[in-house]
Each structure stands twice: as C-alpha cells, then as structure tokens.
Amino acid sequence: MAFRIIFLEEFGKAFVPKKTAPHLRKYLLKAGFNEVPYRFFGLLFYASAVITTLIFIVFVYPYLRRFSLLEVYVYSFLGWFLVQLFFATLFILLVYFYLDLKIYFRTKKMEEQLPDFLQVLSANLKAGMTFERALWAAIKPRFNVLGSEMAKASKKVMTGYDIGKALTELSDKYDSLMLRRTVDLIISEAESGGNVAELIDRLVDNLKQTKALKDELSASAIAYVIFISVIVVVISPLLFALSFHLLVLILNFIGNLSVAAQRGAALPFVFSKINVNQDDFRAFSIVAILTISFFSSLIVAIVEKGSMKSGLKYIPIYIFGSMMFYFIFMKALGAMFGGIL
C-alpha cells in the first residue's frame, strides 16, 4: 500500500513542472489547500490512461487492422497520444474549473464576513488592545474562511513580520476589491497614528450600505429574472413541442396527398421528396433547449448577482425544468393532435 501511494505521488510530481510548482501552490492556497495534491494528480494520470486504453481497444484498434505492421505502429502511437492528450487536457480543465469556483466562493464568503469581523476588531481596539492583539482576539470560529486567513496573518505578525505587509499579502491573494481597499485604508490609518477604531466603524457602515444597495439592485432585477425564466423553462419547450407536432401533421398531410396522386387523383401540383426527418428535429429541439437553458442561467446570474460564476446553481434548475416541460408538452400535444394525425 505504501508503495502505491509513493508511486502515485512520484507520478504526480513528474507531470508538474518545477517552475510551475510554486505558482500552483499559491493558487491552491487561495482555494484552501495547504499542500499540492500530487497523489491526486497521479491518480488522474492513471484514470486517463485506463480510459485511453479502453477507447483505443474498442474503437481505434479495429480500424487499424487493415494497415501494414509499420502503419499500425505509427497510427497506434499517434492515436494513443492524441486520445491521452485529450483526456489529460480535459481533466486539467475540470480541476482548474473546480479550483476557480472554490476560490470565487471563498472570496465571496470572506466579503460577507468582513463587516462583522471589522466590528469585533473595532470593539477590541476601543477596549484598549493594541492592533496586533485586537486582530488576534477578533478571530472567532464563526469567521471560518476569513478567520483562518486572518489567523495566518496574525501568526506572521507574532513572529516579527510587519503587520502592514502581512495584511497586504492577504488582500493580494484574493481578487476582492472590497478586501483590498479595506486593508489599504486600515494600514494607512495605522501607520499615520490615526484613530483606527473610528475608521473601521465608518468602513463597516459603508460596507453595510454597499450590501444594502446590491440587495436592492438584485431585487429590482427580479422582474427580468422571472421573465427570462418563464421564457426558457415554459415558453421555449412549448414552442419546440408545438413545432414538432405541426411538422408531423404537415408531413402526414403531404404524404396522404402524395398517395392520392399516385393512385391517379388529378392534382394541379407535383410533390417532391420531403427531406425533413422527425427524429432529427426532435434531437435538434433537445439540443437547442439545453443550450438555451445553459446560457440563460448564466445571463440570469449576471443580471441578479453581477457575476457569471454565481449562476452555477441555476444551471440544473433551468435544464431539468425546461426538459421536464418539454416532455410534458410533447405528451399533451401528442394526445391533442392524435385525432387529427
């Protein structure tokens, strides 16, 4: 078992360039990971190798048997390399996507906790504590994300690190304009010998007013959210289902006229072959609904929250809701048009 773990870790280290390792570690620290998961990277490599092997044996190799031995070697190498490269790139993108979202939600959580943390820090300063002591005493269990980051900064300060530099490094780790401006104001006030507690109180008031304005803007945009949701979840599936049944109705009507023309009925026009396939239109409808639902969820997130990443929770709701209504409308309209068809 120990051999397997070491083997996985060594494989993971082998596929992470040494120049990239420090940057990767900093990026993982933003997501809350203290160590680089080399064993996980090695496991991903083995997973991609197994998937590549299965795909190569089942789908690729049967087509290579018609070539000569040398061509089989060359095409096998190229096919294996391309498939392995595809899955390795896919896994890297998925991991990056997960880490990016984790950093985003950690940053938002920190911004939500920042006013309450500053209130506690201001109370400690008013009680006569030094700034370093007040910062350490303000770390409470309820400030899980922000508290852990402030604890790291406080430990640096206790070991002789400059407090301004420690807080600046903390604010630079995250893409948060609110956190960066707050830290810059606190550092400048502390270095100038001003009343830091009074400044923090004003900052808390401004942060709360900003949050109230954001909530008000989000509430004013609810009408647009409802409109988009109804269009995507209900109206769009209804129109696609209705179009499908109208297509079936027209095809059957034209088919009956063609049969009548072949039996000798005199018609003033001639029918050509119909190239529209019902199954193709059904597949197109499903793909179109899924695409509309996905991008609409992102648009709703931008309108409501101002960020595309916050719309991930809407994606399954829109997709499953629109597909559910699509199949319901297909059944209902099928029963409605059944007598006509």
d(CA 312, CA 302): 11
pTM tops 0.75, yes or no: no
User: Identity (one letter) of the amino acid at 94?
Assistant: L
d(CA 52, CA 82): 9
Placement of tokens 């001003």 in the chain: 194
Smallest CA-to-CA distance from 229 within 299, 332, 330, 286 is with 299
List of residues 6+ apart from 165 with CB closer than 8 A: none
Q: Please state which CATH number belongs to domain 110-217.
A: 1.20.81.30
The token pair that represents 59 in the structure block: 């789908």
Residues of each domain in the chain carrying CATH 1.20.81.30: 110-217
The token pair that represents 47 in the structure block: 């997973």
d(CA 125, CA 52): 61
Long-range contacts of 227-231 (CB under 8 A, 24+ apart): 228/296, 228/299, 228/300, 228/303, 229/296, 229/300, 229/318, 231/296
d(CA 272, CA 267): 13
d(CA 44, CA 89): 11
d(CA 27, CA 33): 9
| 8 A C-beta contact, residue 313 and residue 297 | no
Q: What is the pLDDT of residue 1?
A: 42
The token pair that represents 252 in the structure block: 């059957």
d(CA 117, CA 7): 44
The token pair that represents 142 in the structure block: 């309820």
- Work out the number of other CB atoms within 10 angstroms of the CB of residue 142: 10
Buried b (16+ CB within 10 A) or exposed e, 43-52: ebbeebeebb
The token pair that represents 17 in the structure block: 């360039």
Tens of pLDDT, residue by residue, the chain (341 residues): 444 555 677 777 777 777 877 788 888 877 878 787 888 888 888 888 888 888 878 877 777 777 777 777 787 788 788 888 888 888 888 888 888 888 888 888 888 888 888 888 888 888 888 888 888 888 888 888 888 888 888 888 887 788 888 888 888 778 788 888 888 888 888 777 778 888 888 888 888 888 888 777 777 777 788 888 899 989 999 999 999 888 888 877 776 666 555 555 555 555 555 666 788 888 999 999 999 998 888 888 887 776 777 667 778 888 899 999 999 999 888 888 776 65
Residue 192: how many CA atoms within 13 Å on its side-chain side? 10
Long-range contacts of 335-338 (CB under 8 A, 24+ apart): 336/245, 337/245, 337/248, 337/249
